[in-house]
Every structure is written in C-alpha cells, then in structure tokens.
Amino acid sequence: MRENNLKINFNPGPAALPYVVLQEASEAILNYNNTGLSILSIPHRGKLFTDILEESKQLVKELCGIGDDYEVLWMQGGGRMQFCMVPMNFLSQGQIAAYVDSGYWSADAIAHANYYGDVKVLSSSQQDNYRHLPAWPSGIPAGTAYLHFTTNNTIYGTQWKDIPSCTVPLIADMSSDIFSMRRKYTNCDLFYAVAQKNIGPAGATLVVVKKDLLHKVNPGLPPMLSYAGHAKAGSVLNTPPVFAIYTSLLTLRWTKEKGIDNIESENKTKASLLYEEIERNDLFVCNVHEADRSTMNVCFGAANKTLEKKFIDYCEQRNITGIEGHRSVGAFRVSLYNAITVADVLHLVAVMQEFENLNKS
Ligand SMILES: *Cc1c(COP(=O)(O)O)cnc(C)c1O
C-alpha cells in the first residue's frame, strides 16, 4: 500500500482521480467551504452552485484555448446520450450524417445515429480490427450535416494526435483524452467528454459547442433533448449532478495548476515507458500500429495467452488494479489518464520485469 492506502488504479473509467481532488471532495461532503452545508445538499440554483458552474466553464475555456464564441454545457446521460443528441439536433431530412469509424465508441455513435436518418461512414479501420486509425476522409459528400469522430479509441488504443480542419461542422467525442495534450480545439464545432476519465466522477458530461452551431439545432425538440435548450437554461434545465460537477471543478483547477504542457509531456513519458517495456519484454506484445498508439490507453496482450490471467493476478498482488482489456477484446489495457503519475508507470514496468524473471523458459 502507498502512503494514501490506495491501489495503483489503471481502470479505464470511472478512473483514478488526483488524490488531492479526492481529499477536497471528501471535505466538501462534510462541510463545503465552511458554509455549514454539505456539497451534497446545496441548492442548484443558489449562488454557491452558480459560482461553481461559472468557474468550471471559465476553466474549460482556458484549458481548451477557446473564446466566448463557444458555449460550455454540463449535461447528463453520458456518451450514449451524446450519440443520440448529435444526430437529433443536427441531422435533418435530406442530409447525411458523416462518421469516421475508428473503434468501439465510434461504431456505437454510428449505431445510435442510424435511428435518426441517413448515415455515411466515410472511413473505417474495422477490417483490421481497429489496430490502426482509418485514413482521414479526403472528401465530404454534398449535403453532409456534420462529421463525427472519436479522438481517442479507449478500447483499441489508438489516438488522433491532431484535429484536422473540416469544411462541415466537426464534432468530436473526446471522452478519453480531453485535457491530455495541447490541441486545436477550435477546429471542432462541438466536442464532448464524459467526466469519468480525465475530468471527474461519472454522472456529468461536458459539452462544448460553438454558438453558431446552436442556431442550426433542429426545431421542435423538447429543451432537455436540445443543445439550445440546455444553453438557454445555463446547464440548470433540471437538477444537475451537483457533486459530480463540483468534483470536476476540483480536477479542472488541478489541471490548470499543473498546466497542459506539463501534463502533455508527462503523458508522453508515461506512455513511452510502458510501450518501450512491452517492446523489450518478450512476454508481451502490442499489435497497435506504432504511429497511431494512444498515450491514454495502452492496449496489449501476452505472447502466451495462458499467462494473461496469471499476470493480472500477479499485478493484483503487487497493488496494481484495473489492467484487464475491455470485455469485447480481452488481454490488457492500461489507462494512463492525467491523474496517473510517472511513478505509477515505473512501478508497473518493474512488475512486468519481475513477472518476466518468474516466467523465464
Ligand atoms: C468511456 C467512453 C464513453 C462512455 O460512454 P457512456 O455512455 O458514458 O458509458 C464514450 N465515448 C468514449 C470515447 C469513451 O471512452
């Protein structure tokens, strides 16, 4: 056990949060900022929460380098709700919704869009089991309402490092790598991220949308299902997940204090340490194409499948948890979100080397 009694937690989400955030969040449950109130029991339309909302929105803008031409919204319903709301709001009759299919989550976004209208997949790496990114679409068909893609493929371990500019509104699911690196967020007209990876606890979803795009929202939607409705109500259309948003604010403050540049360089160091060990250590293999490898989710396997469960058990004995691959692909996935430290990764690498020595043939 470490000083803080917590395991090294490589879970994909809900994922590890910075320890100081957990401490501050716990204190706020007992007595929020000495107000004599628990954060769990403050009114969502009162000044205490309005201040939390405002500060969080401001920090999101700063961290993404975006201006007042964007609206920051806190919503609920997770990734799947966004998979529904994007086509519901922006796809109309006679138009096409264009998607890039780079893995499980893009495929699920496509499946959801199919409920609403004509969907066209412009490129996909599904045939190669998503071991690499698909080509970026070279042309956008006429009548395309928007192009949707997933910046980081949490389950297959690939990541778009750059956000290309696009001739139609570009919409990105950034759930598993928002705030992990310096990025051209302004190339997106709408991006969203569930909180439970780099932001906070499950229950809150961050949506950032260009005000221009809000004018294109399909009419006739009930406010709860309309981005314009949420924007108009300032993210308090109904009772929001106050505690999840507050804890997210604590992480946003931590992120700002650390600085995106430092976070990016640490994330690169963490990922390199792990990929290099996988390459060096004969017990492990990584089939993801090198150029496309994610800094957030490192997906790999054991060269000898019978050692997979043994390695997971060995890690548990050595205080490491959460390295199982997604149920759809198996093997290992180590999630290196912002709260994971270089020391955490060094510990894992040392454990991989111990395991190598124990299993020498
Ligand atoms: C985790 C994740 C989601 C989660 O969606 P939920 O519906 O909230 O479970 C969506 N997209 C991506 C890319 C993810 O990594």
- Tell whether the model's pLDDT for residue 111 goes beyond 80: yes
Nearest residue CA, atom 8 of ligand 1?
78
Express each pLDDT in 204-220 by its tens digit. Answer: 999 999 999 999 999 99
Residue 1: predicted pLDDT: 54
The 3 state secondary structure assigned to the chain is CCCCCCCEECCCCCCCCCHHHHHHHHHHHHCHHHCCCCHHHCCCCCHHHHHHHHHHHHHHHHHHCCCCCEEEEEECCHHHHHHHHHHHHHCCCCCEEEEEECCHHHHHHHHHHCCCCEEEEEEECHHHCCCCCCCCCCCCCCCEEEEEEECEECCCCEECCCCCCCCCCEEEECCCCCCCCCCCHHHCCEEEEECCCCCCCCCCEEEEEEHHHHCCCCCCCCHHHCHHHHHHCCCCCCCCCHHHHHHHHHHHHHHHHHCHHHHHHHHHHHHHHHHHHHHHCCCEECCCCHHHECCCEEEEEECCCCHHHHHHHHHHHCCEECCECCCCCCCEEEECCCCCCHHHHHHHHHHHHHHHHHCCC
CA of 95 to the centre of ligand 1 (A): 26
> Mean per-residue pLDDT for 80-96?
98
Nearest residue CA, atom 2 of ligand 1?
175
Nearest residue CA, atom 4 of ligand 1?
79
- Tell whether the model's pLDDT for residue 3 goes beyond 90: no
CA of 3 to the centre of ligand 1 (A): 31
The CATH number of the domain holding residue 47 is 3.40.640.10
Averaged confidence pLDDT in the chain: 97
CA of 275 to the centre of ligand 1 (A): 24
Q: How many CB atoms lie within 10 A of CB 105?
A: 21
Is residue 240 domain-shared with residue 266, that is, in the same domain?
A: no
Express each pLDDT in 112-169 by its tens digit. Answer: 999 999 999 999 999 999 999 999 999 999 999 999 999 999 999 999 999 999 999 9
Nearest residue CA, atom 3 of ligand 1?
79
Residue 267 lies in a domain: yes
pLDDT band at residue 360 under the 50/70/90 scheme? confident
Question: Counting atoms of ligand 1 from 1, which one is nearest the CA of 81?
Answer: 7
CA of 230 to the centre of ligand 1 (A): 21
Residue 15 lies in a domain: no
Is residue 200 domain-shared with residue 349, that is, in the same domain?
A: no
Q: Which amino acid is at 115?
A: Y
Residue 159 lies in a domain: yes
Q: Which residues line ligand 1 (CB under 6 A)?
A: 13, 78-80, 105, 150, 154, 173, 175-176, 194
- Tell whether the model's pLDDT for residue 199 goes beyond 90: yes
Residue 95: predicted pLDDT: 98
Question: Counting atoms of ligand 1 from 1, which one is nearest the CA of 78?
Answer: 8
Pocket mutation for ligand 1, best pick of 194, 297, 328, 337 (most atoms within 8 Å of C-beta): 194
Question: Counting atoms of ligand 1 from 1, which one is nearest the CA of 176?
Answer: 15
Show which residues are catalytic. Answer: 105, 173, 197
Residue 8 lies in a domain: no
Residue 317 lies in a domain: yes
Is residue 249 domain-shared with residue 347, that is, in the same domain?
A: no
Question: Counting atoms of ligand 1 from 1, which one is nearest the CA of 155?
Answer: 15
Residue 4: predicted pLDDT: 83
Nearest residue CA, atom 7 of ligand 1?
79
Is residue 99 domain-shared with residue 204, that is, in the same domain?
A: yes
CA of 139 to the centre of ligand 1 (A): 28
Range of the domain at 201: 21-258
Domain boundary among 258, 281, 316: 258
Is residue 219 domain-shared with residue 240, that is, in the same domain?
A: yes
